[in-house]
């Protein structure tokens, strides 16, 4: 049984491919790659309103090893206040209070309160939430945002969680906290709800509102200034006016760095850079909410079913096929519409479903092409080419083993008159009626029935001597006559009849066989067929 011709089995195969991929970890990896190729990076505005101040190697060389005295941070905040910076994301963890004699904590907190629009980082360690200065709440003039970074299995950062915290996701992400300081944002937040997502710190750290961030196509989307250049006045404070400033560590070896998608991001980037990208995505509404995998699977199953029906089931139902085609095109456009409205639909199961349908279609077309190359379209018998290929093989076998080989040439009498009277469609119908009858006279798997030309059939009979070939020829002639298909234009009968000529070679008494080409057998059978037709048809020659 040819499974590719069993459309229901093919349908099950395609849907099984979709289900299997959806259950494998490979699905997540493919989705990540698709995301990277399509919208993993985007073009940011030339002036995003965001600037970075980096604690870089130059600053460390000038100000000494890390950590620095806190009066330096107080001085930086004071300078940013004088520059009228809109808000400041100070991504430095002042975990422990400064207990030294020259403590600058009070000065730092005073400058924070003077500015009144700062965000500090909050994170967890050993199951405990760590806040600046070990206080139970944010310092006056500031708020807190978590700096948890999700790294995908391939080592790249693509997603953030807008809320996270110990036992309950109470803290906004650092970038979201910055936006809330500017706009007092309390409305709808994007993101996929995941209240059961617990990771790290002995599974107490809980995340919610997962979003995908299209990072900048440029490696430097935000103006970036060195910490020491700001302190020493090498940068005009006018450049920082009314801007959102993020201060963070860029120097290597102090804090972790991360990879993001895009050919322009070969170097690892700081968490501050990532939080600036999250802030930009929230501000410009470029974040995408990932749709749950179950909906991606449902989409894939439906799209695969429609495409499979379109290709295999609806060939003879043009109206229904048009409706299905329109529906399939609409579904293919659905991921684009989802992106337009801020959602990301998992595509890997759908792509594997489409690929499996196209693969089956290609295989069926290949098999069909091969069948068409070797089979006659009207009678479904072997065609002239297949007959010659098989005859060549059987001729060589017959020569080598000295076994008989026979061929019958069967021509429908007065077939041209029949088609002139009843039309070519009726003529094709006659040929289609005769072909299964000829197939019934095959005695072995090696026997071959073929359509030789318009109105002539050939029956190749390996291991068949003269007397058996003659008997089969007479049976074929008689069976065709007994079909009783009316043919008033025949010169030998009032029903469809056939003339049969046959030839046998390489019999045990045929010593000249080795010197003849293989097509000689056909030539002799055609000569015999001509003799049968000259006897007014409906007969066998040699008789």
Q: What is the pLDDT of residue 26?
A: 86
Torsion of CA 124, 125, 129, 135, to 10 degrees: -120
Q: What is the pLDDT of residue 24?
A: 86
Query: Against a cut of 0.75, is the pTM above it?
Result: no
Q: How far apart are CA 400 and CA 82, in angstroms?
A: 105
Cis peptide before 424 (omega within 30 of 0): no
Q: How far apart are CA 56 and CA 53, in angstroms?
A: 9
* CB contact set of 233 (below 8 Å; sequence gap of 6+): none
311-316: long-range pairs with CB below 8 Å, 24+:
311/357, 311/361, 312/7, 312/10, 312/11, 312/360, 312/361, 312/364, 313/7
* CB contact set of 301 (below 8 Å; sequence gap of 6+): 15, 18, 19, 349, 353
Phi, psi of 323 (to 5 degrees): -60, -45
Within 13 Å of residue 252, how many CA atoms lie on the same side as its CB? 2
Q: What is the pLDDT of residue 540?
A: 94
Q: What is the pLDDT of residue 235?
A: 92
Q: What is the pLDDT of residue 3?
A: 41
Contact 166, 174 (CB under 8 A): no
DSSP state of 259: B
Q: Considering only CA atoms, which of 426, 410, 412, 423 is closest in space to residue 491? A: 412
Task: Tell me the two tokens of residue 350.
Answer: 């759908």
Q: How far apart are CA 459 and CA 409, in angstroms?
A: 7
The CA-atom distances, in angstroms, between 346 and each of 31, 68, 150, 195, 300 are 6, 46, 18, 20, 9
Hey, what domains does the chain have and what are their CATH numbers?
3-21+291-374 (no CATH), 46-159+171-193+218-286 (no CATH), 384-541 (3.30.70.270)
The per-residue pLDDT string of the chain (543 residues; one tens digit each, 9 = 90 and over) reads 344 445 678 888 889 989 998 888 888 889 999 998 888 778 888 888 999 999 999 999 999 988 899 999 999 999 999 999 999 999 998 887 776 767 788 898 899 999 989 999 988 877 777 778 776 667 888 899 999 998 998 899 999 999 998 888 889 999 999 998 886 666 678 888 875 555 554 468 889 999 999 988 887 889 999 999 999 999 999 999 999 999 999 998 888 999 998 756 667 899 999 999 999 999 998 999 999 889 999 999 999 999 998 888 887 778 888 898 899 999 999 999 999 999 999 999 999 999 999 998 888 877 766 555 667 778 888 888 888 888 999 998 888 888 899 999 999 999 988 988 888 899 999 999 999 999 998 877 889 999 998 899 999 999 999 999 999 999 999 999 999 998 887 878 889 999 999 999 876 555 555 567 878 899 999 999 999 999 988 999 998
Task: Tell me the two tokens of residue 265.
Answer: 């991001």
What residues does 245 pair with on adjacent strands? 51, 88
Burial grade of 134 (CB within 10 A; 0-12, 13-18, 19 or more): exposed
């Amino acid at each position: 049984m040819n499974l590719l011709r069993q459309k229901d089995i093919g349908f099950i195969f395609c849907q099984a491919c979709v289900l299997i991929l959806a259950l494998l970890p490979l699905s997540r990896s493919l989705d990540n790659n698709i995301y990277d190729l399509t919208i993993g990076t985007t073009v940011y505005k030339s002036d995003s309103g965001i600037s970075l101040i980096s604690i870089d190697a130059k600053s460390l060389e000038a100000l000494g090893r890390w950590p620095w005295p806190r009066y330096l941070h107080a001085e930086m905040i004071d300078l940013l206040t004088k520059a009228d910076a809109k808000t400041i994301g100070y991504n430095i963890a002042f975990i422990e209070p400064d207990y030294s004699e020259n403590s600058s904590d009070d000065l730092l907190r005073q400058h924070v309160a003077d500015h009144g629009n700062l965000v500090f980082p909050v994170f967890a360690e050993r199951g405990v939430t760590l806040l600046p200065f070990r206080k139970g709440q944010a310092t006056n003039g500031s708020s807190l945002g978590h700096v948890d970074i999700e790294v995908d299995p391939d080592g790249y950062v693509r997603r953030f969680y807008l809320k996270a915290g110990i036992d309950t996701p109470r803290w906004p992400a650092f970038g979201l906290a910055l936006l809330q300081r500017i706009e007092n944002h309390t409305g709808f937040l994007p993101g996929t709800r995941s209240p059961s997502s617990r990771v790290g710190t002995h599974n107490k750290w809980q995340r919610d509102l997962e979003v995908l961030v299209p990072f900048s196509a440029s490696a430097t989307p935000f103006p970036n200034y060195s910490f020491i250049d700001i302190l020493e006045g090498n940068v005009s404070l006018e450049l920082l006016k009314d801007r959102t400033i993020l201060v963070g560590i860029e120097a290597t070896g102090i804090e972790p760095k991360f990879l993001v998608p895009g050919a322009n991001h070969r170097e690892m980037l700081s968490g501050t850079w990532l939080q600036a990208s999250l802030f930009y995505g929230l501000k410009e509404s470029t974040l995408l909410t990932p749709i749950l995998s179950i909906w991606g699977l449902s989409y894939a199953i439906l799209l695969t079913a429609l495409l499979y029906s379109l290709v295999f089931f609806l060939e003879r139902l043009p109206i229904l096929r048009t409706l299905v085609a329109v529906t399939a095109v609409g579904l293919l456009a659905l991921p684009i519409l989802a992106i337009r409205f801020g959602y990301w639909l998992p595509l890997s199961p759908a792509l594997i479903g489409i690929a499996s349908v196209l693969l089956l279609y290609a295989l069926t077309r290949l098999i069909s092409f091969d069948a068409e190359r070797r089979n006659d379209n009207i009678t479904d018998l072997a065609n002239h080419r297949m007959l010659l290929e098989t005859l060549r093989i059987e001729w060589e076998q017959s020569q080598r083993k000295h076994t008989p080989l026979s061929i019958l040439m069967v021509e429908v009498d007065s077939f041209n008159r029949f088609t002139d009277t009843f039309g070519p469609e009726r003529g094709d119908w006659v040929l289609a009626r005769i072909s299964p009858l000829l197939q019934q006279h095959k005695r072995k798997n090696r026997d071959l029935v073929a359509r030789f030309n318009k109105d002539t059939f050939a029956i190749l009979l390996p291991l068949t001597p003269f007397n058996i070939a003659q008997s089969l020829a007479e049976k074929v002639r008689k069976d065709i006559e007994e079909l009783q298909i009316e043919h008033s234009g025949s010169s030998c009968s009032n029903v469809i009849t056939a003339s049969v000529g046959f030839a046998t070679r390489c019999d045990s008494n045929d010593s000249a066989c080795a010197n003849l080409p293989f097509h000689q057998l056909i030539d002799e059978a055609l000569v015999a067929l001509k003799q049968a037709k000259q006897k007014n048809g409906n007969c066998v020659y040699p008789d």
